[in-house]
Structure 1
């Protein structure tokens, strides 16, 4: 699995809990301090050090270096302005049947609002439209938290 946006490691812990015992999480974050927080959180949660790979850097610089078709899941919870670019990279990274997920796609309810919207909301709408119209993806929009968009690669 690949996680874009490590944060403090909360989502990474849940991803690791759902993986096979030999599965590895590759987590990418632009802030090295977040990677350290997550490393400690994973250790405290009882995960062996070899279960996660921590890569500091801008996701759009790191993702092209990852193996084509080598992943079952890509979880995106980082810069929403870059979600469309993450989608393109995810399609390359995922094997058939793999899943890409985007957190926070409701943007506090603003993606369905009718008034003038900030760039972030317009980009999220573009993402939703691109996933819906893609021949390569089978989408599901879940009303969990602030919205979770998941799509399986055909």
Structure 2
């Protein structure tokens, strides 16, 4: 199967016309407008993903620290994806206060270990507490403070079933390269926040971080090593399976 060439003239599928944008395949007919009903459906998806007290506590700590957490529906998707690949070893870029980690651990095997990396050790302390509130044994999570691109090269080749990326958007392509090295065949890499609150498909001038997201979308779509899907949950979840 061949992919259509990248194009620069005119917006297609809602993506802006620019040399640094991604041009998805053009669908048949006109693109559907995001209506109030569809927005209500997204809200329903978040409400459907019930969260316990530990998750709500972790969300409160994230709010207090000015951090963005994955939405409940995104968390539920992460939980399902971890279960789908029967994950025993997961690497997470961006611990935050533990919201995404709780969902990943719930989806992993009972003996699975989450390796989570964050440049802010104080955030990881909140995550430790949240994991403990959930009843996870201390050996279920390995916390590594530090910049992701300094830590990831020290992790084992082909040693992970899933890599979840929710870190610095300026480093997305580097995360992709490291993820391909870390994943076993059949493993899954997941990027959160690829809609960037709608800016990814906005035709106006965008900051560098949005340009990097567009470059990531293009690189993942064109990779012969990956089978990919862009899930419209939360702020966009880009998922790809390593062949």
TM-score where L is the length of structure 2: 0.63
Partner of 1:141: 230
Q: Deviations over 1:34-66 (max 9, x none)?
A: 111101100011000000000000000000000
| Distance in structure 2 (CA, Å) of the matches to 1:78 and 1:86 | 9
| Distance in structure 1 (CA, Å) of the matches to 2:99 and 2:205 | 33
Describe how 1:35-114 pairs up with structure 2 within 5 A: 35-114=124-203
Deviation at 1:103, TM superposition (A): 0.3
| Distance in structure 2 (CA, Å) of the matches to 1:74 and 1:113 | 28
For residue 120 of structure 2, the aligned residue among 18, 31, 38 is: 31
| Distance in structure 2 (CA, Å) of the matches to 1:140 and 1:33 | 34
For residue 219 of structure 2, the aligned residue among 130, 148, 154 is: 130
| Distance in structure 2 (CA, Å) of the matches to 1:84 and 1:109 | 20
Quick check: which has more Rg, 1 or 2? Answer: 2
4+ long deviations beyond 4 Å = none
Greater strand content: 1
Partner of 2:53: none
Deviation at 1:78, TM superposition (A): 1.0
TM-score where L is the length of structure 1: 0.99
Please, which runs of 5 or more residues in structure 2 have no aligned partner? Answer: 1-89
Describe how 1:12-23 pairs up with structure 2 within 5 A: 12-23=101-112
| Distance in structure 1 (CA, Å) of the matches to 2:170 and 2:125 | 25
Q: What secondary structure, in the 3-state scheme, does the structure 1 residue paired with 2:204 have?
A: coil
